[in-house]
Amino acid sequence: MRRLNYAEALEYIHGTKKFSTKPGLLRIENLLHEMGDPHKKMKYVHIAGTNGKGSSTAMMGSILIQAGYKTGMFISPYLERFNERMQINNVPISDDELVKFTMKTKNHIQDMLDKGMLHPTEFELLTAMAFDYWAANDCDFVSLEVGMGGRLDATNVIDAPEVAMILSISFDHTRYLGNTLSEIAWEKCGIIKPGSDVVTYANQPKEALDKIREVCQERGVPLIIPDKNEVKVIESGLFGSRFTYKGIETTVPLMGEHQVYNAIGVIEAARALARRGYNITDEIIARGIAETKWVGRLEPVFDSPYCVIDAAHNPDSVNSLAKAIDTLFKDRKIVAVMGMLADKDYDVCIPEIASRAEAFVAARPDSPRALDAEETAIIAAKHCSNVFVRSSIREAVDKAFELAGKDCMVLICGSLYLIGEAKTYIRTLKTGAVG
């Protein structure tokens, strides 16, 4: 078979979107069996939740790396480059490796089809390919982020993880996961399996927490709930937050109070691993959290004007972003660039940002699921007197930078599709390489 180039590999991967997306694990189980079950060769921390998955995955991965374990990470979705989706020790898969493992997976899928099996979905293909990549590179651990839900997510093909984390639960993907917090929590609790330790979020809503308790009891596993009363924030600001928790003092280098709560969940998960015999000390935990690198969450990307990007895209994450604006940026006027997907709760999210903005620039993310910029602007105009519409993300960024004065901050938020493209464009502004 002719070797694909990088662009062809991506084209093949994205071309599998046309295949059934009906939830279920049979397709990926069949594919992984054809591949020799590479997912059975590693240990896992499996991380589900509506919000906080990405940053918690990064923190846990950083701790495992600091402890000396070769660590895979699964990121869903990516921000700028597709390769970010699968990483080893914080390094994204190379273009050559991506091509190599795409071709391997393509061959195995053809073997499946020849046997009359169903074609896997794009996410199932990627998940299986990541397992194969990590196994081939002798990874010890994977900090594994769930794609959507938990119970029927492709990542849930693994056996019992060492630790399952159920992070902050709120309303998102209700079409697939349910219309109540209890129903959504039950779907996410699908990653809880006998033999695992379970850690949940310190500020979990009661309805969700009750369901998590119930599932843990049914499956005979311990539930660890971080004690927010044990948290003492020493200082916080644009650098993140320095805090103490149960004898550990560290800095989470991510802005926002919610990141402290994510961090104490990770601390509890890491200590659970230590009790299981893994070489993870409190010193390693503190250093791992402090060394965490995570993009797209209150991430500064430009100095003049000061510009921050954030991938808040549902009511809970937008609420966290709004709190951060009110505390960290209360002395700055906000010029917002925002665009969302039409299948999100945009009618709740847009007003939260528009009401805090001196000016608002509506843009359309590059996705077939995107909300039109004009519709975004109509909603924003009810809460902000200076609203603009731009036909491209580049033009939206340019307009925001034009509007921003010395005491302003440009906030680019909403869909990852939008902030990823914006970040790439802003990098060209830094280098003067705008074409």
Write the single-letter amino acid at 397.
V
Distant-in-sequence, close-in-space partners of 135: CB < 8 Å, separation ≥ 6: 38, 39, 41, 42
The DSSP symbol for 372 reads P
The alpha carbon dihedral of 413, 146, 62, 327 has a sign of positive
% of the chain at pLDDT higher than 90: 74
Q: Which residues contact 93 (CB under 8 A, 6 or more apart)?
A: 83, 85, 86, 87, 101, 133
Local confidence band at 176 (pLDDT 50, 70, 90 cut-offs): low
Report pLDDT digits (tens) over 361-416. 999 998 888 999 999 999 999 999 999 999 899 999 999 999 998 889 999 999 88
Q: How many CB atoms lie within 10 A of CB 34?
A: 18
Tens digits of residue pLDDT in 206-232: 999 999 999 999 999 999 999 999 999
Strands 333-339 and 359-362, sheet pairing: parallel
- Residue 243 confidence class, pLDDT cut points 50, 70, 90: very high
Cis peptide before 77 (omega within 30 of 0): yes
Fold annotation for 299-431: Protein-Tyrosine Phosphatase; Chain A (3.90.190)
pLDDT confidence of residue 172? 62
Strands, E assignment, 353-424? 359-362, 387-389, 408-414
* 110-168 residue pLDDT tens: 999 999 999 999 999 999 999 999 999 999 999 999 988 899 999 999 999 999 999 99
Contact call for residues 429 and 400 (beta carbons, < 8 A):
no
Every domain of the chain and the residues it spans = 6-290, 299-431
Q: Pick 114 or 19 by higher pLDDT.
A: 114
- Residue 59 pLDDT class (50, 70, 90 cuts): very high
Beta-bridged to residue 336, according to DSSP, are: 360, 411
**CATH fold match for the domains 6-290 and 299-431:** no
Q: What CATH class is the domain 6-290? A: alpha beta
C-alpha to C-alpha distance for 55 and 404, rounded to whole angstroms: 29
5 backbone dihedrals φ, ψ, rounded to 5°: -90, 180
CB 339 within 8 A of CB 370: yes
> Are 185 and 173 in contact, with CB atoms under 8 Å apart?
no
Average pLDDT of the residues of the chain:
92
pLDDT, tens digit (0-9, with 9 covering 90-100), for 266-305: 999 999 999 999 999 999 999 999 999 877 778 889 998 9
Compute the distance between CA of residue 207 and CA of residue 403 in angstroms, rounded to an integer. Answer: 44
**Cα separation of 265 and 52, whole Å?**
10
CA dihedral 58, 60, 64, 65 (to 10 degrees): 20
